[in-house]
Amino acid sequence: MGTSVLSLRIDRDLLERLRGHAAKRGMNVQDYVIQTLMRDDFDQRFQTAVEETEKFYGVT
């Protein structure tokens, strides 16, 4: 798996909040943001799988 760089500009207050959340978990901001994005991506894929399964079995 290769890596790429994503650069973004964020508000100072948001960055400080992210630093606080990351520090509570013993992480740096980069790792915290990546973990959050991965968790959100998993949640979306899982929800889609549940919906597809319900359609297949006629639950909805």
How does 41-57 read in b/e, with b if 16+ C-beta sit within 10 Å? Answer: eeeeeeeeeeeeeeeee
* The pTM of the whole model exceeds 0.85: no
Q: Domain ranges in the chain?
A: 12-57
**pLDDT tens digits for 14-52?**
999 999 999 999 999 999 999 998 988 888 888 888 889
